[in-house]
Amino acid sequence: MLYEEDWGDNEHVMTHVRAVPEVAEGSPDSEPQGADGVAAALAFRASGRTQRPLAGRAGASRLSVLALDGERLGPYVKNALVLVVVLVPFLATAFAVVQLWERAVNWRDLALLFGLYVPISLGVTAGFHRMLTHRSFRAHPVARGVILALGSMAVEGAAIGWAANHLKHHALADKEGDPHSPVDGLFHAHLGWLFDPTRADPAIYCRHLLKDPVVRFVDRTFSLWVVLSLVIPFALGGWTGLLWGGLVRMFFVHHITWSVNSVCHTFGKRAFETPDRSRNQWMVGLLGMGEGWHNNHHAFPRSAVHGLDRWQLDVSAWVIACLERVGLARDVQRIAPEVLARKRLG
Ligand SMILES: [Zn+2]
Ligand SMILES: [Zn+2]
């Protein structure tokens, strides 16, 4: 059958993911801790709290100067920080464009930046995240390969490792073992975690993906897609095309993806009760193709739609609906309104 990915049934995965904390604890995938980290973790467990104390592991103490605990900040400071984290890189780029106009950037460069940003972002959001990691829909193998190749061009790591890491995040969100929780500091959640050498083991978190030939192919040829993501803008726009369509585009895709991990677990509103700190943040929703409705996503991880209210813009969900309409996607997961209503806060 055209759509059969041989990923097994979903219940197996969800059960497996729920069982992961126990599985991972004594496995090679568990993160190394010093004596302080172990003591802190034990004290934390004894306290019965649901979240880890700050500086609960070795990496956190190194970055403690930069730890901004959103819970302790007032609403105005929070909003100001959101603006800084999400808007400043964009404003700085706009300023750079004005400064460099006709010297190092032109309309073609900006067209390359936007024209590559959109499909590559969607490769991460609709492809890596919703299709591959959460099985929110099934795609025709050719579509699956193209979407995953686009996601690889974001240069956020190969597909299977990305999925394993993200499943680990969902299994342990804002608790011991979460790869990128702001409990360890906003900087750690944003990009500091990238310097942590431990990674989620695909054999534990997404064994099913290792059996899919399309996924494995795109995963194994990751460096090819990375090179292509730079060669294409260079071929179309020369050196300035490489700068704007390649490197500046990469900068934006990176920071917006990382903002889902940092901003959307620190700032914004909670619409649903979840056992983590996930939040809906409209600016990341807007710039991140719908990924900023992150509390919605943690409440309903399999849903292909993250913008669950009519006003919550979700470009990835639109693209998935278009793929479904033309026959390239099926089994699109949507949550019934009565189920949403039952889980809604307040
Ligand atoms: Zn999250
Ligand atoms: Zn997710």
Rounded CA separation 118/290 (Å): 12
User: Each residue of 108-131: b (16+ CB within 10 Å) or e?
Assistant: bbeebbebbbebbbbbbbbbbbbb
Question: What is the whole-number distance in angstroms between the Cα of residue 302 and the centre of ligand 2?
Answer: 8
Question: What is the whole-number distance in angstroms between the Cα of residue 139 and the centre of ligand 1?
Answer: 24
- Tell me what pLDDT residue 18 has: 45
Question: What is the whole-number distance in angstroms between the Cα of residue 12 and the centre of ligand 1?
Answer: 21
Question: What is the whole-number distance in angstroms between the Cα of residue 200 and the centre of ligand 2?
Answer: 14
* 3-state secondary structure string across the chain: CCCCCCCCCHHHHHHHHHHHHHHHHCCCCCCCCCHHHHHHHHHHHHHCCCCCCCCCCHHHHHCHHHCCCHHHCCHHHHHHHHHHHHHHHHHHHHHHHHHHECCCECHHHHHHHHHHHHHHHHHHHHHHHHHHHCCCCEECHHHHHHHHHHHHCCCCCCHHHHHHHHHHHHHCCCCCCCCCCHHHCHHHHHCHHHHCCCCCCHHHHCHHHHHCHHHHHHHHCHHHHHHHHHHHHHHHHHHHHHHHHHHHHHHHHHHHHHHHHHHHHCCCECCECCCCCCCECHHHHHHCCCCCEHHHHHHCCCCCCCCCCCCCCCHHHHHHHHHHHCCCEECCCCCCHHHHHHHECC
Sign of the dihedral defined by the CA atoms of residues 82, 259, 304, 205, in that order: negative
Closest by CA to 288, choosing from 105, 130, 101, 81, is 130
* Residue 115 near residue 94 (C-beta atoms within 8 A): no
pTM recorded for the entire structure: 0.76
Question: What is the whole-number distance in angstroms between the Cα of residue 188 and the centre of ligand 1?
Answer: 14
CB-based contacts of 63, cutoff 8 Å, min separation 6: 184, 185, 187, 188, 192
Amino acid at 335: I
Rounded CA separation 85/342 (Å): 33
Ligand that lies nearest to the alpha carbon of residue 275, given by its number in the listed order: 1
> Which residue's structure tokens are 């889980």?
343
Question: What is the whole-number distance in angstroms between the Cα of residue 261 and the centre of ligand 1?
Answer: 6
Question: What is the whole-number distance in angstroms between the Cα of residue 6 and the centre of ligand 1?
Answer: 26
- Tell me what pLDDT residue 251 has: 86
Question: What is the whole-number distance in angstroms between the Cα of residue 33 and the centre of ligand 2?
Answer: 26
pLDDT in tens, the chain (346 residues): 344 444 444 333 443 444 443 333 333 333 323 333 323 333 333 333 333 333 333 444 443 332 244 445 566 665 554 445 345 556 656 666 776 776 777 889 889 999 999 999 999 999 999 999 999 999 999 999 999 999 999 988 899 999 999 999 999 999 999 999 999 999 899 988 887 778 799 999 999 999 999 999 999 998 899 899 999 999 999 988 888 888 888 889 999 999 999 999 999 999 999 999 999 999 999 999 999 999 999 999 999 999 999 999 999 999 999 999 999 999 999 999 999 999 999 7
CB-based contacts of 202, cutoff 8 Å, min separation 6: 160, 161, 163, 164, 209, 210
Question: What is the whole-number distance in angstroms between the Cα of residue 85 and the centre of ligand 2?
Answer: 21
CA–CA distance from 29 to each of 19, 57, 133, 164, 206 (Å)? 14, 15, 19, 11, 13
Question: What is the whole-number distance in angstroms between the Cα of residue 146 and the centre of ligand 1?
Answer: 25
Question: What is the whole-number distance in angstroms between the Cα of residue 235 and the centre of ligand 1?
Answer: 37
- Tell me what pLDDT residue 240 has: 83
Ligand that lies nearest to the alpha carbon of residue 131, given by its number in the listed order: 2
Ligand that lies nearest to the alpha carbon of residue 258, given by its number in the listed order: 1
- Tell me what pLDDT residue 74 has: 63
Question: What is the whole-number distance in angstroms between the Cα of residue 50 and the centre of ligand 2?
Answer: 20
Ligand that lies nearest to the alpha carbon of residue 174, given by its number in the listed order: 1
- Tell me what pLDDT residue 193 has: 86
Rounded CA separation 279/186 (Å): 14
- Tell me what pLDDT residue 239 has: 84
Question: What is the whole-number distance in angstroms between the Cα of residue 173 and the centre of ligand 1?
Answer: 6
Question: What is the whole-number distance in angstroms between the Cα of residue 301 and the centre of ligand 2?
Answer: 6
- Other CB atoms within 10 A of residue 261 CB: 23
Question: What is the whole-number distance in angstroms between the Cα of residue 241 and the centre of ligand 1?
Answer: 33
Closest by CA to 301, choosing from 132, 87, 52, is 132
- Tell me what pLDDT residue 10 has: 39
Question: What is the whole-number distance in angstroms between the Cα of residue 108 and the centre of ligand 1?
Answer: 36
Question: What is the whole-number distance in angstroms between the Cα of residue 209 and the centre of ligand 1?
Answer: 21
Question: What is the whole-number distance in angstroms between the Cα of residue 168 and the centre of ligand 2?
Answer: 10
Ligand that lies nearest to the alpha carbon of residue 294, given by its number in the listed order: 1
Q: Which two tokens stand for residue 267?
A: 């700032």
> Which residue's structure tokens are 């959109």?
118
Ligand that lies nearest to the alpha carbon of residue 280, given by its number in the listed order: 1
- Tell me what pLDDT residue 143 has: 97
